[in-house]
């Protein structure tokens, strides 16, 4: 009886994931239909620069080609732990797979896919042809049913081998889900759940209350409140020595920036990052009573390194003297009105100057301090002073949706329950998944993994990356909620990996903030797509080399980063081969109708997404796990298992393209 109820819950959970995505898509489509033409025209008129043509990113061509211009954040680095489970994985290995980032030719969340310089996704001017309604409904049905079936199979396997897994890995006693045991081997979920339940949530609540108090009574002192409170929390959690190390990293980066040499800023911050991986750094573990406190210091310093790199490079770009008003009046004046408020089209905030005050506020701003999401320095400073009356979507930044006001807290109450309930629902769903399906522990038991049928392995892969997505909805959703309440709009939340269409789309749409960070500080300064295919490949390779180094510089991470670089490069080349113009090459000389072109895109995107999931399994489980999946699903599983997976991902890709088209102005 318990098993039957468990199966129902697993299937219900998977339906919640997909149906929730459908609901957000329909809501976004309704908003898009209501948007004014003038707003659409402004967004569409911006010139762009492709990151990997099909690709991982796009940047406005108006952005200066200097070392610090170009918001980036390739979805892969940024704020949480992750990495493989098992012997290859260490907590320093940060979990940000090529997952959510910004759209190739548009930074904003409502940017649409394009067919330009090799994109395979259609464009605002040349949107992909919609599927007939029956075919669209069939794809959606298969996508939902496929996820539900995958969770059902994983649940059955978990129950069948529960005693064996418990004997070797000591499953925890679950606290709900009808007495089922819980998989405790997903390090980052266990780690952040422990800290959230003990202290982090209380400190985050204290930040929100303090920020609202300053906003209501003394807005000009609010940045000072953020700085002091962040330092106090950092000291309480990491100890005086840990907080001093974080402050020392910020001061070292600030000092390097005073020489206005981007190369020196990079050397300083890469040296600090390398120091976290040096063997002698482990002596700091003696500062703490538990290993968890030591790991929290490492994760905080890894995120601090991204912020320090950002503000130091931005300060290098500023030739103006420090703003004289900053020491006496820490609020910089509001930025000039722009037709496109996207951070990608804004330079460094002119009032930020080179004073130490705003870099420290940016570094110790508490909601994203330990785990992200990451924002660039100039974006953060500009958002701090965004007028309260400006509109902005709570989740995606759409200009037609009402934004949460800053003052006072009372007007927030009608929306607070809905936002909080969404985050709580994601948390409950993630916990339910860990009780009913042992994703992580199955990947650590290699003998059992190799003995499973190929179709079961395919279901385990789909279920695991879906859990990965839900996990990051929680890990990013909680601090994002606090940032919304402060009026500091965070990057959009992740997008489910299985409905992305390729490596490029995954890196754009899983971790938007990191994706923008990488674009702004690595990809664009190295030339991006402006120097031809070879230079674009080199720039993209540098991005993934940094991703590898930031995550921990372990062997399996190098393999994972290389897979992603090859995937993006191949997609770029294929996109260019198929589309010099949207109508000619993509139609293969006129032999394919527009509807046939759409289906061809789905086939290509489905195959690419299969490789995306394989690379994510390398990231989550290590190279040995990736080799098992490659051999059993794609080699031994040919033809039926392989074709079944590709057919399922074809349907998911079609839904993903419909999702994107709903955002086309």
Q: Which residues are catalytic?
A: 551
- Helix (DSSP H) and strand (DSSP E) numbers for the chain: 22, 4
Could you count the other beta carbons within 10 Å of the beta carbon of residue 141?
11
Which are the contacts of 281, defined by CB distance < 8 A and separation ≥ 6? 275
Question: What does R_g of the chain's alpha carbons equal in angstroms?
Answer: 24
In 3D space, the residue among 188, 430, 427, 440 whose CA is nearest the CA of residue 298 turns out to be 188
Cα 372 to Cα 32, 59, 479, 619, distances in angstroms: 29, 22, 8, 19
Which are the contacts of 631, defined by CB distance < 8 A and separation ≥ 6? none
CA dist 651 and 138 (Å) reads 8
Judged on CB neighbours under 10 Å (0-12, 13-18, 19+), 133 is exposed
28: left (phi over 0), alpha (psi -120 to 50) or beta: alpha
CA angle 169, 170, 175 (to 5 degrees): 130
The tokens for 322 are 């420090």
Judged on CB neighbours under 10 Å (0-12, 13-18, 19+), 591 is exposed
Buried b (16+ CB within 10 A) or exposed e, 469-482: bbbbbbbbbbbbbb
- Around 577, how many Cα atoms within 13 Å sit in the side-chain half-sphere? 6
């Amino acid at each position: 009886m318990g098993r039957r109820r468990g199966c129902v819950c697993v299937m219900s959970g998977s339906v919640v994931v997909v149906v929730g995505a459908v609901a957000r898509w329909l809501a976004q489509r309704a908003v898009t239909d209501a948007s004014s033409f003038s707003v659409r025209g402004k967004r569409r008129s911006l010139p762009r620069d492709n990151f990997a043509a099909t690709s991982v990113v796009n940047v406005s061509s108006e952005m200066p080609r200097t070392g610090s211009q170009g918001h980036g954040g390739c979805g892969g680095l940024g704020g949480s732990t992750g990495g493989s489970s098992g012997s290859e994985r260490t907590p320093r290995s940060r979990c940000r797979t090529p997952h959510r980032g910004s759209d190739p030719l548009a930074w904003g969340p409502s940017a649409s896919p394009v067919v330009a310089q090799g994109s395979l996704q259609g464009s605002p001017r040349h949107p992909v042809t919609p599927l007939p309604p029956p075919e669209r409904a069939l794809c959606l049905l298969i996508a939902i049913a496929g996820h539900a079936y995958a969770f059902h199979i994983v649940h059955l396997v978990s129950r069948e081998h529960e005693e064996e897994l418990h004997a070797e890995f000591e499953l925890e006693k679950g606290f709900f889900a009808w007495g089922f045991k819980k998989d405790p081997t997903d390090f980052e979920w266990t780690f952040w759940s422990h800290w959230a339940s003990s202290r982090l949530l209380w400190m985050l609540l204290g930040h929100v209350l303090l920020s609202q108090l300053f906003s209501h009574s003394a807005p000009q002192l609010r940045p000072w409140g953020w700085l002091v409170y962040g330092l106090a929390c950092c000291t309480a959690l990491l100890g005086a020595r840990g907080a001093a190390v974080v402050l020392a990293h910020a001061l070292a980066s600030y000092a390097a920036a005073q020489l206005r040499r981007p190369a020196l800023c990079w050397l300083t911050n890469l040296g600090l990052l390398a120091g976290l991986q040096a063997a002698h750094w482990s002596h700091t573990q003696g500062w703490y009573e538990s290993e968890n406190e030591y790991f929290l210091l490492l994760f905080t310093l890894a995120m601090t390194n991204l912020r320090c790199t950002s503000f130091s490079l931005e300060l290098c770009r500023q030739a103006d003297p420090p703003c004289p008003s900053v020491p006496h009046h820490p609020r910089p004046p509001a930025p000039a009105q722009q037709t496109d408020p996207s951070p990608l089209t804004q330079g460094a905030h002119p009032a930020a100057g080179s004073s130490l005050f705003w870099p420290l506020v940016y570094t110790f701003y508490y909601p994203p301090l330990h785990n992200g999401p990451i924002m660039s320095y100039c974006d953060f400073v500009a958002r701090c002073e965004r007028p309260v009356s400006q509109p902005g979507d709570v989740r995606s930044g759409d200009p037609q949706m009402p934004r949460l006001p800053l003052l006072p807290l009372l007007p927030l109450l009608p929306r607070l329950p809905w936002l909080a309930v969404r985050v709580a629902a994601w948390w409950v769903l993630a916990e339910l998944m860990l009780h009913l399906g042992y994703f992580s522990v199955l990947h650590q038991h290699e003998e059992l993994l190799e003995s499973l049928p190929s179709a079961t392995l395919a279901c385990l892969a789909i279920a695991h990356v879906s859990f990965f997505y839900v996990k990051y909805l929680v890990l990013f959703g909680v601090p994002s909620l606090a940032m919304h309440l402060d009026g500091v709009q965070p990057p959009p939340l992740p997008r489910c990996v299985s409905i992305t269409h390729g490596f490029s789309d995954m890196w754009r749409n899983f971790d938007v903030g990191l994706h923008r960070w990488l674009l702004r500080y690595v990809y664009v300064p190295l030339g991006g797509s402006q120097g031809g295919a070879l230079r674009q490949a080199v720039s993209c390779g540098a991005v993934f080399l940094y991703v590898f180094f930031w995550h921990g510089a372990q062997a399996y991470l190098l393999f994972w980063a290389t897979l992603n670089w090859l995937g993006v490069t191949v997609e770029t080349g294929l996109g260019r081969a198929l589309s010099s113009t949207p109508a000619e090459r993509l139609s293969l000389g006129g032999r394919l109708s527009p509807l046939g072109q759409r289906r061809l895109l789905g086939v290509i995107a489905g195959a690419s997404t299969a490789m995306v999931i394989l690379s994510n399994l390398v990231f989550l489980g290590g190279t040995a796990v990736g080799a098992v999946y490659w051999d059993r699903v794609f080699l031994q599983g040919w033809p039926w298992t392989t074709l079944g997976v590709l057919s399922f991902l074809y349907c998911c890709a079609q839904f993903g393209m419909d999702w994107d088209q709903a955002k086309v102005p």
